[in-house]
Amino acid sequence: MSGLRLRDRLDPRWGRTATLRGAVAGPRVLFVGINPGIRSAQLGHHFAGYSNRFWKLLHESGLVTTPLTFEDDVDLPLWGFGLTNLIARPTPGIDTLQPDEYRNGRARLLRKVARLRPDVVAFLGVTIYRAILAAGRTQGAPGARPIRVGLQPDRLSGVRVFVLPNPSGRNANFSYAEMLEAFRSLRRFIGRRAGLARARQALRDQRLE
C-alpha cells in the first residue's frame, strides 16, 4: 500500500510483548481468534505461525485486494477489518486454556463489540464459537447445538455473527478449498450488507430532496 503505513503512525513498540494488542478501529468485520500462538507472541504479530493460512485466505477470497503477511496486521483497519483474540495468553495449543479464561474472554469481547459496533463478528474456528456459547450458558441450560461455518442465528451484543474455519495448518477438518469458500462467503455477505446500506442511504437522500 502506498503512502505512510498505519504501523508507522503508531507506537513502534506495538505488539512487541507477550500479549498481542488487537488491530481494531471501528471495523466492518472484527475477526476473533482463540489466543496467540508462541511464534505470534514472539514476533508481536497475529497469525504468524508458519502453517497459518489466514493471510493467504484473506487475499485469495477477495476480502483484501493486496497480498498481506502477518507483518501487515496493523494495516488491517485501512481495509475495514479488525483482529482480536478471545484470550490474550499465548500457548502452543489450546489444551491448557482454562474455563475461566474463556468466560473472562467472552465478557471482554462483549464489551469490545458493544464499543466498536462492527457490522460482523467473524470467529475463526468452530471451536472458539462453541466455547463462546458454552461460556454464556447458565447452569442447567440446554447443551450445545451443531455449529456449521457461515452466518449464525445468534447475535453478539446485537451484532451479526459469522463462523469461519480455523485457518491453522493443524486444522484437518477442512480442506483449503472449503476454507476459501467460507472466506468468500463472508466477502459476499458483507458486500450484500454494503449494498443494502447504499440503497437505504439513497432512499433517505431522495426523501430529503
Least confident of 20-29, 44-53, 84-93: 20-29
Average pLDDT over residues 115-131: 94
Q: Half-sphere exposure (CA, 13 Å, Cβ side) for 22?
A: 24
Average pLDDT over residues 173-201: 82
Dist. CA 92–CA 89, nearest whole Å? 10
In a domain? residue 80: yes
Question: Sign of dihedral through CA atoms 96, 99, 104, 109?
Answer: positive
Q: What is the pLDDT of residue 69?
A: 93
In a domain? residue 159: yes
91 contact partners, CB below 8 Å, separation of at least 6: 35, 37, 38, 97
For residue 134, pLDDT beyond 80: yes
Domain that holds residue 201: 6-208
Q: Which residue has the higher pLDDT, 101 or 201?
A: 101
In a domain? residue 1: no
Q: What is the pLDDT of residues 143-172, one digit of tens each?
A: 567 899 999 998 999 999 999 999 988 888
In a domain? residue 130: yes
Dist. CA 13–CA 178, nearest whole Å? 37
Q: What is the pLDDT of residue 143?
A: 53
**CATH code of the domain covering residue 113:** 3.40.470.10
In a domain? residue 12: yes
This prediction's pTM:
0.79
Average pLDDT over residues 185-205: 68
pLDDT band at 3 (very low <50, low <70, confident <90, very high): very low
In a domain? residue 116: yes
Provide the number of structural domains found in the chain. Answer: 1
